[in-house]
Structure 1
Amino acid sequence: MVGKKLETNIRLAKQTDINDMFEIIDYYANDGIMLPRSKNILSHQIGDFSVVELDGKVIACGSLCKLGDDLVEVRSFGVLPIHKGKGIGKQLLEFIIHEAKSRKIPKLMALTYEVDFFIKNGFEEVAKEIFPEKVWKDCIYCKKQNCCDEIAVLKRLDLLDNT
């Protein structure tokens, strides 16, 4: 039905979401757009993930990975392709930003190919070299380490604003 708003539920992830999350991340990892995550890793990092659910099925996921006391990374962020372009990513990112604020973390970064999406949502493009925390946490394991073509984006949060 055209124009019908999807009734989604955005929430923190649970262990029962791992298979759906794996499916989303694996889809993008197979295209070289996202780093792969095993189900075991997802299980250990479940507390960092948020999901969007539609009719009982997880259709989007994303996580906040702490890189330092004042910096988290938005990562493993994806929407099932059939649901792209419906505002689901924006809703999930807003939820994740709220989570970062509740954790009192003032800066969010991401390495992405979807720069326009992040810019539209209040991020700014920055040099990835300003994030040595990211380089030592993940980039050393990436096959694109020496030829990374992802763009770094950053959003500074006003922790006094609870919206």
Structure 2
Amino acid sequence: MSVSIRPALPADVRGINRLVEPMTHTGILLGKDLVSYYEAVQEFLVAVDEEGDVVGCGALHVMWEDLAEVRTLAVRDDQRGTGLGHRMLLALLERATELGLSRVFCLTFEVGFFSRHGFEVMSEDVDPEIYNQLLRSPDEGIAEFLDLARVKPNTLGNTRMIKQLDGRDRPE
């Protein structure tokens, strides 16, 4: 079965939701309202099969001039082990490189997967001036990046990881 990756369209939002929703019940991904997906559709890439069904998704959310977060990276159960997650992540990293970003953050339970792609457990501190600017954002992803206490109940058990981009993050 052929699967292609492309930018998401508003018509893909319900497919993204159908893919992600079961994973919210197990705590793998955070649930979102449909309106949130529509508002962020331009951040998403989708993987679609020959019938046009969404079988994978992932988003790249810009957080700062040099930083973005990989969000909502998911593949349908029957696509696990096919390399689709790898392809999706590489496409998101390529998008980050095209935007001129130098770092990509993720919050994940899948430490091994992200480690194989060059992500490392985050230990760096944020520059105080940038930290003060980021604190003004209502975005929960930024709160997770900053490791703020108010998001601890939502992220318990997740690992904060970061990757330095070198411009070679291109799909194979």
Fold equivalence (TM over 0.5): yes
Do 2:59 and 2:71's aligned partners in 1 also have CA atoms closer than 8 Å?
Answer: yes
Q: Please point out which of 147, 151, 158 is paired with 2:159.
A: 151
1:99 CA drift (Å): 0.5
Q: Please point out which of 62, 74, 77 is paired with 1:81.
A: 77
1:136 CA drift (Å): 5.8
Superposition RMSD in Å: 2.4
3-state secondary structure, aligned to 1:66: strand
CA deviations on 1:102-134 (whole Å, 9 max, x unpaired) are 111110010000000001111112238759649
Do 2:93 and 2:169's aligned partners in 1 also have CA atoms closer than 8 Å?
Answer: no
Question: Structure 2 vs 1, CA of residues 38 and 76 (structure 1 numbering), >3 Å: closer, same or farther?
Answer: same
Q: Which runs of 5+ in 1 are unaligned?
A: 1-5
Do 1:25 and 1:37's aligned partners in 2 also have CA atoms closer than 8 Å?
Answer: no
Q: Which residue of 2 aligns with 1:19?
A: 14
1:137 CA drift (Å): 2.2
Within a 5 Å distance, the mapping from 1:1-163 to structure 2 comes to 6-55=1-50, 56-127=52-123, 133=134, 137-138=139-140, 139=144, 144-145=153-154, 148-159=156-167, 161=168, 163=170
Give aligned-pair identity as a percent. 24
One-letter amino acid of the counterpart of residue 137, structure 1 = D
Between the two proteins, the alignment pairs up a number of residues equal to 156
One-letter amino acid of the counterpart of residue 144, structure 1 = P
One-letter amino acid of the counterpart of residue 165, structure 2 = L
Q: Which runs of 5+ in 2 are unaligned?
A: none
1:85 CA drift (Å): 1.1
CA distance in 1 between partners of 2:64 and 2:55 (Å)? 29
Do 1:35 and 1:142's aligned partners in 2 also have CA atoms closer than 8 Å?
Answer: no
Task: Using structure 1 for the length normalisation, give the TM-score.
Answer: 0.85
Moved more, 102-111 or 123-132: 123-132
